[in-house]
Amino acid sequence: MSYNDEVARLLFEFADRLEAKGVEYKPSAYRRAAENVAEYPEPVEQLAATGQDAVAEIDRVGDAIASKIVEYVETGTISELDELRESMPVEMAALTSVEGVGPKTVGTLYEALGITDLDELEAAAEAGEIQDVSGFGVKTEQNILDNIPFARESQQRERLGEARPVADAVTDHLADTDAVDRVDVAGSIRRWKDTIGDVDVLVASEDSDAVVDAFTDWARADDVIEAGTHKASVRADAVRVDLRVVVPAEFGAALQYFTGSKDHNVTLRNRAIEQGYKLNEYGIFDVSDLDDGEAADQRAGQRLGGETEAEMYETLGLDPVPPELREDTGEVAAAADGELPTLVETADLRGDLHTHSEWSDGRAAIGEMVAAAADRGYDYHCVTDHASGPGIIEDIGLSDDDLREQMAAIDDVRADAAIDVLHGVETNIDADGALSTDDDLLAELDLVVASPHSALDQDTEPATDRLCRAAEHPSVDIVGHPTGRMINSRPGLSVDVTALAETAAEHGTALEINANPMRLDLAGEAVRAVVEAGGTVAINTDAHSTGGFDTARYGVRTARRGWAETGDVLNTKDIDAVEAFLH
């Protein structure tokens, strides 16, 4: 976590704790300040060194908040925050991770029942104590009980978007270490799963002590969990990082083994056995001439490979399997038949078809977003600000009149733009599948993203009907973040993805992979259903600032987990082909 993110996190916690105490207005001021601190391009400790006035230059950061930031930079604590923590000793982050439980609820339940953590919350709900607290009822209590398992799980796994920067930083650090021959990530982070239990890092070296030392001395390691001769674990930004050091000759075998998934490895190992081979983290061996006693030795037999991962697959008669596919869902058979897909790559993207500007809740002007898209090498950019409607805050969404007014603004930007600019909208799919923007206006716009922003707890049937109805609408081009999930905080709609994929394919409507790592929606398995239905996905960042485009890689990796090739992705096409696809 960058220093600014760390400060922002404390300000968010401050806001939650004030709100839990029933303080009004101040919490939202702290949250706005926190957002701007997180976005601020320079480290706040540099500003703090200049003085409180410099910190207060940050948008929405007033003197009171600036003085707390200076205090934190100088002393490592914010005394008022410590007092809040002491006076109400609740595990705020854990409790608010339960859907439907906000800081205010946490405060009420603490005052009424002394609840401080998830276990106590669960016990109180099971004992029927919560329904008796004023403002609560049987239904709320049951909701809390239903949502605790999801919250508990989300406490144990980090979002890819938080773990990946840690993985990038640790591999950069180790790559700069003399004793390190090769370094790569393994495990779920290499497979780009949407949540990560821990980050696995693998190093090839002849001097494992030096590597372990460099790892545990890493400036970003907050805590050394364990350190041995070939293994060590640290915690960085709340993410656990596991290091293993192997000799260079066995690096490929170890990388294959520790990348997993476990199920993929089982299928691979069975294939090896059928061929008279033994496959493990040390290499691949021909054991056909060994008797059972000898074969028990992990490195016994004739060594056929292990220095590179590619030779592990090659020896088994397999094409190399991209890590994103290693979930034992048919990839080994496809590799044997030479039928693995050629997966889409980040460099294939030619533009973003779902983005925001300051017209709705984005933070940059349309012209700035277009310029940033051009800087990234994109050929086109589509502006899709929020239309007003269910789930969208009153003063954020654009009315039909606003959208017509925006047409002129888009024309102005087009006059100076280096790339093609499309004018679209992100309209809302209500609980029944109706859209919140006038049909005539939708028909006039270049592109329509329709997304669910409300009623996200529907059952499968109404949820699927609703999304299918939107996909069938003659003006809808893309169904945005179809399930509405927020990873680790909201499960989203449970959709019959195959039915939706088929309807969308039939009506020439793309389904979105929203690349925001909070969402990754559709998820990889659902993308696979779209690809199999012969449908089209669009990989969009939903950028709300120029920095938002950087999340595109998470969307691409999610597409790859769904076996998507370049041709399956709308925004890898040139502008003419995109326009031909649009309704």
Residues that bind ligand DGT (CB under 6 A): 187-188, 193, 196-198, 200, 257-258, 260-262, 265-266
Judged by beta carbon distances under 5 to 8 A according to partner kind, the member of Zn ion, Ca ion, ligand DGT, none in contact with residue 265 is ligand DGT
DSSP codes joined into one string, 297-343:
STT-SEEEE-SSHHHHHHHTT-PPPPGGGTTTSSHHHHHHTT----B
Shortest separation between residue 362's beta carbon and Zn ion, angstroms = 9
Judged by beta carbon distances under 5 to 8 A according to partner kind, the member of Zn ion, Ca ion, ligand DGT, none in contact with residue 260 is ligand DGT
Angle (CA) 81-85-86 rounded to 5° is 115
Amino acid code (one letter) for 196: I
Site residues for Zn ion, 518-547, by CB under 5 A, read: 542
- Cα dihedral value 475, 478, 481, 484, nearest 10: 20
Q: Are 125 and 141 in contact (CB under 8 A)?
A: yes
Tokens of 542: 């939903």
* 188 vs 406, beta carbon nearer ligand DGT: 188
State the Cα–Cα distance between residues 449 and 428, nearest whole angstrom: 9
* 280 vs 572, beta carbon nearer ligand DGT: 280
State the Cα–Cα distance between residues 138 and 317, nearest whole angstrom: 60
Per CB under 5 A, 187 contacts Ca ion: yes
Judged by beta carbon distances under 5 to 8 A according to partner kind, the member of Ca ion, Zn ion, ligand DGT, none in contact with residue 13 is none
* 301 vs 424, beta carbon nearer Zn ion: 424
Shortest separation between residue 426's beta carbon and Zn ion, angstroms = 5
* 239 vs 312, beta carbon nearer Ca ion: 239
Q: Are 583 and 550 in contact (CB under 8 A)?
A: no
Shortest separation between residue 196's beta carbon and Zn ion, angstroms = 25
Which residue, chain included where needed, has tokens 């999610």? 558
Shortest separation between residue 266's beta carbon and ligand DGT, angstroms = 6
What's the start-to-end Cα distance of the chain, in Å? 43
In degrees rounded to 5, what are phi and psi of residue 18? -65, -45
- Alpha carbon of 247 to those of 144, 166, 304: distances in Å? 50, 24, 16
By beta carbon distance, the residue nearest Zn ion is 542
Site residues for Zn ion, 422-451, by CB under 5 A, read: 426
Per CB under 5 A, 198 contacts Ca ion: yes
* 117 vs 263, beta carbon nearer ligand DGT: 263
Sheet holding 277-280, edge to edge: 277-280, 283-286, 302-305
Shortest separation between residue 191's beta carbon and ligand DGT, angstroms = 7
Shortest separation between residue 280's beta carbon and ligand DGT, angstroms = 9
| Contacting residue, 200, 311, 477, 502, with Ca ion by CB under 5 A | 200
**Count of residues that interact with Zn ion, criterion CB under 5 A:** 2
Give contact residues for Ca ion (rule: CB under 5 A).
Answer: 187-188, 198, 200, 242
